[in-house]
Amino acid sequence: MEKTLTIIIPAFNEDATVARVLQAVMGVNIPLDKQVIFIDDGSTDNTARVLLDLKNSHPTITIISHKMNGGKGAAIRSGLERALGDIVLIQDADLEYDPALYPKLIAPILEGKADVVYGSRFTGSDPHRAQYFWHYFGNRLLTLLSNMFTNLNLTDMEVGYKVFQREALENIKINENRFGFEPEITAKMAKKNLRIYEVGIPYYGRTYDQGKKVTWKDGVAAIFAILRYNLFR
């Protein structure tokens, strides 16, 4: 029986990219069936309308609608409730991460080497857009702090591309609503003593004018999340 990859795609005000994301996801050649779940996280633009059109042309995709914006963690929590796949992958809707990378990301799991795979924007020879020193510095600082508590040697804890064997997510409850999801899930995976791998990925980062949503406030919240989920049960 062929395995299934569940692709969870949170979307908030991404009407310009959701159709291209779906086209890219559907075009990836992998030895797995695909379950695609979009979460419209209270968008105020035309994201809901675009997703409805996509549903009409791709009846197999699942669309979850939040009446109000809850944040990335809240969207992923809703997606996980509907996930049926043997492997679960988080895909941002803004095309900063290219779905063509799926074969590379899932390979360590399919080969039986990994339970969890993180992409890394800071390792490997792939192209990375140069921008925002303080954003880069914050990411590295948060990764270092997380590593100190988890005893992992990740290079990019905050990366959007995270892939999980279904078993790795068993008995995991996501509490964080926004970008605190990243340190929370990392701490919970580390506590389960799972085989966590990283693979280098290219990164096509957006500017804030282009719709980037992470701010310094999310960095501060991430610090508290690192402490909360590593020091307390």
Whether the pLDDT of residue 206 is over 80: the answer is no
Question: In sequence order, what DSSP letters do the residues of 129-169 get, joined into one string?
Answer: ----HHHHHHHHHHHHHHHHHH----S-TT-S-EEEEGGGG
* Over residues 34-52, mean pLDDT: 97
**Cα distance between residue 34 and residue 194, in whole Å:** 24
With CA atoms as reference, report the closest residue to 201 among 122, 91, 83, 117.
122
50-71 pLDDT, tens per residue?
Answer: 999 999 999 999 999 999 999 9
Domain 4-231 = CATH 3.40.50.12280? no
pLDDT value at position 39?
Answer: 98
* Over residues 181-186, mean pLDDT: 96
213-232 pLDDT, tens per residue?
Answer: 567 677 788 899 999 999 87
pLDDT band at 209 (very low <50, low <70, confident <90, very high): low
Mean pLDDT of the chain: 90
pLDDT value at position 131?
Answer: 64
pLDDT value at position 232?
Answer: 79
70-120 pLDDT, tens per residue?
Answer: 999 999 999 999 999 999 999 999 888 899 999 999 999 999 999 999 999
* Over residues 122-139, mean pLDDT: 71
Domain spans in the chain, listed from the N-terminal domain onward? 4-231
pLDDT value at position 134?
Answer: 72
Whether the pLDDT of residue 8 is over 80: the answer is yes
**Cα distance between residue 115 and residue 87, in whole Å:** 9
Element (H, E) at 229: helix 216-231
**Cα distance between residue 82 and residue 221, in whole Å:** 27
